[in-house]
Amino acid sequence: MALFAISDLHLALSVAKPMDVFGPRWANYMDKLRENWCSAVGEDDYVVVPGDISWATYLDQVYEDFRFIHELPGKKIISKGNHDYWWTTRSKMERYVSENGFSSISFMHNNSFSIEGVTICGTRGWEIPGETGFSAEDERIYQREIQRLELSLQRGKSDISSNPAFADNVIVAALHYPPYDSRGEYSGFIDIMKKYDVQLCIYGHLHGDACRDAVEGMLDGIMFRLVAADHLGFMPQLLYE
């Protein structure tokens, strides 16, 4: 069993939203994604997909995009991005994938996943205080997302403490937004990660020139990795095996 990650798939099989308008790297991106994924990921592997999954607006529009994901190898753990307007309650999403036979897809929303060697926690995240235009509403969402990350990490810690098979698990935090601001300064998300001994933080959301300033590598005991699909060349990144 291996663990991979890739975010920002921006699938557009359900609605007309061509991504090549964002530059040549997005040309034929879904074909590239399928080919690369199938070459790297096995049926027993897990892939974390932290946000911006589909351009669909409503859950009943995501069928073709979810079928695309389901037919790829491995088990997929999906969380919310800023463009996932179709996202609804976990119970409704779980019912949708069950009714449509998309059994390889699970959702991370106020919960956690523990598998052999790894416990995966996370939330969407949000803009960081101090950024231009950061509003009172942004502050409210930011605080709520910090609470959701802590809830997910609490549940992950509970998994570890209650099951001897998970006692040595590495804790991974998956966010869609970077956990730092445009100046590279840390946020409350990182404070929570330190509190719960997170060893690896993966995130997406950044594209194009913004990737140049991405925080990656080991900082203060946490390994940071940007896993946006175009940044990775549409190849899922191996995290653990």
pLDDT tens for each residue of 148-165: 999 999 999 999 999 999
Domain made up of 3-240: CATH architecture: 4-Layer Sandwich (3.60)
Instruction: Please compute the mean of the pLDDT values over residues 136-150 and round it to a whole number.
Output: 97
DSSP 121: E
Tokens of 34: 């399928």
Average pLDDT, the chain: 94
Tokens of 51: 């946000």
Closest C-alpha to 157, from 191, 120, 187: 120
What are φ and ψ of residue 179, in 5° steps? -85, 25
Instruction: Determine which of 94-98, 148-152, 200-204, 205-209 has the lowest per-residue pLDDT on average.
Output: 205-209
pTM of the prediction? 0.95
* Interatomic CA distance for residues 129 and 150, integer angstroms: 18
- Do 91 and 135 meet the contact criterion of CB atoms below 8 Å apart? no
* Residue with tokens 């589909």, as numbered in its chain: 54
- Do 89 and 96 meet the contact criterion of CB atoms below 8 Å apart? no
pLDDT digits (tens, 9 = 90+) for 47-74: 999 999 999 999 999 999 999 999 999 9
Strand partners, 218: 223
CA distances from 181 to 77, 151, 191, 194 (A): 26, 23, 14, 17
pLDDT digits (tens, 9 = 90+) for 2-50: 999 999 999 999 887 777 667 788 889 999 999 999 999 999 999 999 9
At residue 156, the pLDDT reads 97
